[in-house]
A and B are shown apart, each in its own frame.
Chain A
């Protein structure tokens, strides 16, 4: 595959690994989520330019808008966790476990 494609895929995969294998902080998971979004944004906008297909030219903007909502809700969850648990350490969230 082309170098650009490999860059995007690697960036996405790295962000996903970061999301699943985080250790302590919820904030790092949210940051990795943001990087995944970023890679997707770049990928879709370059795709529209490279292949000259006008139909998908709006997709990056939509992706950006929805990602903003998602980031804000993630941050609200972070703030709520900090309010109730005192910090955003992941090990405090296992309340269902006895």
Chain B
């Protein structure tokens, strides 16, 4: 097929232009129809999705990969910065998936945010976020990646704090920005190290020149960046707090696209990491700790969105574990399949919340399977995919990860934690489904339960098709770059399935106890899980207070008051004042007496000299 690269280039540029055009037209003119921006954005994303399918199919058919380098942005002696787009397997596969999920979410949001006075602006923000994400994913040099990185961070802040009149929302948005910033420090450090040591920010150049160098320092910086953006342990509290934002925001940002940016960075730069055992072990242990910790926290949450947020966090930990196993392709596969079922889970929970008149507590839901059967079916399908049910989307990636983990010679402790987290995933998913779908209703009778709206059913149907088929399609269509693990004893192969079923049954047994009267048990065991491991309680007060107090002491007391006031002007003033006061108090102004004394003294001395 001739001129493949022109087709790819053109399609990609058209996709970008389609995405950017609603933003620009909204600046240039205002239409009379109040909903114009909604239609405009939805159609733009739909068209962009179909346009981006063309590079995807070409890539699947012929294996074409492409790098576009154009505008020469700046040039500092021997250091060039260009705008270059890299359309390799990762970005060509990810962009259509992101656009598909965003299309579904935008259609859903046109129903969910209908009563909001500024929902044109909401769509604009979502679109700008999407553009930043596409920039991040298709970046071929670190500068463009950084632009996309910061862009998604800022849009996340703006979108989480959408209903900014509530103090909790503002705190959550601020938390997101601060924790992301701490991660950005790592990224900036890595950028600076690469600029000075590798003399380039282009990915191809970096991969070649980094072969012989000791890459510990920038890799730790990159892992810190991933920790901040992807909510690994240590910088994780912002993700559950980010659930204060509207449900479409949670579905787009904090499940499918933004939080995987950190993992995507590590996948993109995996050739730098594959020979460095220190960085790989760090990823492994960090990911295992994250996944277990957040799974434990998810077990006792009562807010449906927080349960899903914690499950996102634990899946991100699982992706980090995969990178630590030196299997970046499996991590990428999990990113893609996770996008589908997590977005579907969030959107279903959005429908449920709206149907019960903004009730988010699962203790006040129940028996919804008889009232909104399609939505609860999607919730169930999504949860089953999350657990890794065979042949749904989650199975192909999650099972492959667990199998690779079991067959590796790496850290057994990380393995144990991940397996435990997998079974607990089943437990909290079951808890969520049990409280929402099953038993009898626990909400007031007059609730606006309605799911006959096209704007809900169509996008969720599309996402459900994606959840069921995406794993199969992706595994069959592409040969993985590393050979998969295929030969092992059957009990190793079935480990993931067995522990999932184990977790499921135990959770079901425990859940069935809730209908019966049990003797009162002490609750202290739950405090660790309910208080999220006491991590926010300790960290959010102590460190900021210490640092702010220290900086106040240094800036105000030491520099301003001491060096600039007391040692300079005030000392001179007080010294001179005391001297002048003393001197002028002594002077009495009796000139005659002074002169007479002078004469007398003179005479005495002269006479003494002569005699």
Contact = CB atoms under 8 A, between A and B. Distances in A.
Nearest to A93: B591
Interface string B211-228: 000000000000000000
B599 interface: yes
Best-buried of B589, B590, B596 by chain A (most CB within 10 Å):
B589
B229 to A, nearest CB: 77
A17 B598 CA distance: 10
Main secondary structure, interface of B, reads helix
Contacts of A96: 584, 587-589
Nearest to B606: A13
Given A17-B599, A20-B598, A21-B599, A97 B591 contact: no
B592 interface: yes
Contacts of A84: none
A46 to B, nearest CB: 21
A90 interface: yes
Range class of the A interface residue count: 10 to 19
Contact of A16 (B587, B590, B602): B602
Contacts of A93: 589, 591
B138 to A, nearest CB: 87
A94 B595 contact: no
B589 A97 contact: yes
Interface in A46-67: none
Contacts of A4: none
A95 interface: yes
Contacts of B598: 20
B222 to A, nearest CB: 78
A94 B591 contact: yes
Interface string A59-92: 0000000000000000000000000000000100
A83 to B, nearest CB: 19
Interface centre among A20, A90, A97 (most CB of B within 10 A): A20
A19 interface: yes
Which of A17, A19, A96 lies at the interface centre, i.e. has the most chain B CB atoms within 10 A of its CB? A96
A1 to B, nearest CB: 11
Interface of B: 584, 587-592, 595-596, 598-599, 602
Given A16-B602, A96-B584, 8 more contacts: A20-B595, A20-B598, A93-B591, A94-B591, A95-B589, A96-B589, A97-B589, A97-B590
